[in-house]
Structure formats: C-alpha cells, structure tokens
Amino acid sequence: MTTTLTIRRPDDWHLHLRDGEMLAAVCPESARHFGRAIIMPNLVPPVVTGSDAARYKERILAARPAGSDFTPLMTLYLTEDTDPEDVAQAHRDGIVQAVKLYPAGATTNSASGVRNFDRVRGVLERMAEIGLPLCVHGEVTDDDVDIFDREAVFIERVLDPLRRATPGLRVVMEHITTADGVEYAQSVDEDLAATITTHHLVINRNFILAGGIKPHYYCLPVAKRERHRLALRKAAISGDARFFLGTDSAPHTDPLKEQACGCAGCFTATNTMSILAQVFEDEGALHRLEGFTSRHGPGFYKLPVNDDTITLTKSNTPVDYPDKIHTGDGPVTLFDPQFPLHWSVADASSG
Ligand code: NCD
Ligand code: ZN
C-alpha cells in the first residue's frame, strides 16, 4: 500500500484571493502547498488595467506568510472598454499571465463583464498575436437557458465561434463541469486546455439540493448530474495534459452563504491536496496526481514546473481539518467532501 507520495510542488490555475482582511486570512491557506496561482480579477471594482494588477499583486505579496515563495500570476478582467495596448504592455512587463472573460452577470462580481463580443474583438486578436491566454468562464447568462445547460450552450454558441474567429487564441476553459466540456477540450489539439476544480470531482447536484438546501456546496458553474462528475474524474485522472487543477477556491463568509440569496463559491484551498490524493487513490491513479496538479498547467502556460517538491503521507487516522477558518470579515466554511481524509501534505523539501 502506498503511504507516501512525493510530487513536484503543485500550482493552482484558478484562485480567488479577494482583498483586505479576507486576503490576509486566505492567502496563507494557498501559500502552504501551492507554488503559484492564477489570481482571479473579480474584485469590486475589478482588476481591469495593468496598473490595477500590479497594485493587487503587491497586496498579495504582502499577505504571504514570512518566508513564503508563493507567486501570484495575475489576470486582467476583460471589459468592453479594455484597451488592447494596455493588455499587451502588461504582458510585456511580465505583470499578467492571462485575461479573464466573464460573460456579464454569469457569476459573483461579473457585472462589468462582456455583453457584446464584437466589442472585445481587438483585444482578443492582440492576445492571439502575443500568445496571452484567455481564461473563460464558460456559461451563457440568457434567462431562457436552464442553469444546468449553460455550459454546454456556451460552448456551442459562444466558445466555438469565438475560437474559430480568432485563430491562434489560446484559451483555458475554466472549471468545466460537464461531459460536454470534457469532450470539447478533447476535440482540440492545440491552444485549448481546461481546468477542473477539486469540488466538482467530489460533488454532484444532489449534494446541494437533496435532503435540504446546502449553501456551502453552491458554486458557479453549479455542480451537475452524476454522469458529468464521473466524466470530470475520468478526464482528471487520464493523464491528458489538456486537463489540470484550478481549484476555484472562492471564500465567502458564512452570513453571505447562508442567506435567502446566498453567494456562489466553495472554499477548498486548505484541504484540496488531501481531497485530490484521496480521489486519485480511489481511482487507482495516484501516479497521475502530479501531472494534474503540478505539470500540465505549467506546460500550457509555458512556464517551468516548480523546482521543489511536496510529500503527501497517508495515515490510518483521518486528518483533522477545521470546519471553518476565521477571517477579519467573519468565518469561512471549509469545503466538506463527506469522506475521511487520510492524506496530508507532510513535508516540503528543496529538490
Ligand atoms: C466565484 C467567486 O465567488 O468569486 N464563485 C464561484 O462560485 N466559483 C466566481 C466564479 O469563479 O465564478
Ligand atoms: Zn472562479
């Protein structure tokens, strides 16, 4: 029986760190295990320009625990007013690693997102020229499209036409939740990848809705049917380099989750590596964990893998995680996978 596993230090290719008190509390949770993370720009107001991103990056660096090398990889929030030259300059200066597309109204703090895709054509063409990836929240927001169908409809109506209209544009389908997302990512050989969250490998929509409504399992894109969860698991453990980890760890305080109109987002930064080790072990694929968490992401983003390693160990007694982490803004509930976690990150060493 495998009881220890040493892998290259993982990275998180989709992370919400927020700002202020929340940033101070959650940054160390990601910095503990992850080397780098793609930082989502959906602050209020959003991170729109290169100078917004540079200033936000400084705040994140200041929130790291002493001695931490955790590196935030910054993104810009694409709006209909985004200036292609500002994007290109921020890329040249090494300030941003990607641009984030939120269809307007798709999710938390997405009001400034894109309504009319013709208005961002110039930015997308410039990004294709310079090889800067577009991270896509892949859901349509039309009222007449059922929320469980929004990803599949987005692929057909928006993503595929947009990719065809912009040859060379490098796209990350973020937090895919459906077999349709898996199939689309697999159908394209170049310039397309997909991230998968920890929680979508664990929960289906019953977790949210069966036996009473469970706001801490509500996130966007919303978890789908079991057959979609199984398709995501198969993709994650497949060894296919087009799939890699983006936790979408998205902290909201308990009062904001547990109300009549609760916020979307699952907070998984703290126990993600324990959960993933369990999922991969259950699938007989522990040898593929490193690809998913530590190798495929840098491959797509054309960055080196991390120099150092982490070691996961398995113990007979489950690891005790707190139910909540405490922040200056209030308590944040940690994602509960509803199975015991026997793997933990034991030790970090240079290598
Ligand atoms: C994210 C958030 O809270 O910022 N919420 C979520 O459910 N994933 C926004 C997002 O990435 O969609
Ligand atoms: Zn997100």
pLDDT digits (tens, 9 = 90+) for 99-145: 999 998 887 788 889 999 999 999 999 999 999 999 999 999 999 99
Evaluate: CB of 155 within 6 angstroms of ligand 1. no
Residue pLDDT, tens place only, 12-37: 999 999 999 999 999 999 999 999 99
SS3 119: helix
349 pLDDT more than 50? no
Q: What is the pLDDT of residue 331?
A: 98
What one-letter code names the amino acid at 45? P
Q: Which of 40, 108, 140, 261 has most ligand 1 atoms within 8 Å of CB, for mutation?
A: 108
Nearest to 200 by CA among 157, 238, 235: 235
181 pLDDT more than 70? yes
From the CA of 220, give the closest atom in ligand 1. Answer: 7
Ligand nearest to the CA of 195: 2
171 pLDDT more than 80? yes
Q: How far is the CA of 218 from the centre of ligand 1 (A)?
A: 10
Which residue stretches of the chain are H helix? 20-31, 50-63, 84-92, 121-130, 150-154, 160-165, 179-186, 205-209, 226-236, 254-257, 272-282, 289-290, 296-301
Instruction: Provide the token pair at 133.
Output: 């990836």
Q: pTM of the full predicted structure? A: 0.97
Nearest to 199 by CA among 11, 338, 105, 311: 338
Q: How far is the CA of 313 from the centre of ligand 1 (A)?
A: 31
Instruction: List strands edge to edge, sheet with 171-173.
Output: 12-15, 36-39, 71-77, 96-101, 134-136, 171-173, 192-196, 243-245
Please name each of the domains of the chain with its CATH number.
Answer: 10-306 (3.20.20.140)
203 pLDDT more than 70? yes
d(CA 280, CA 176): 18
86, 248, 329, 336: which one is catalytic?
Answer: 248
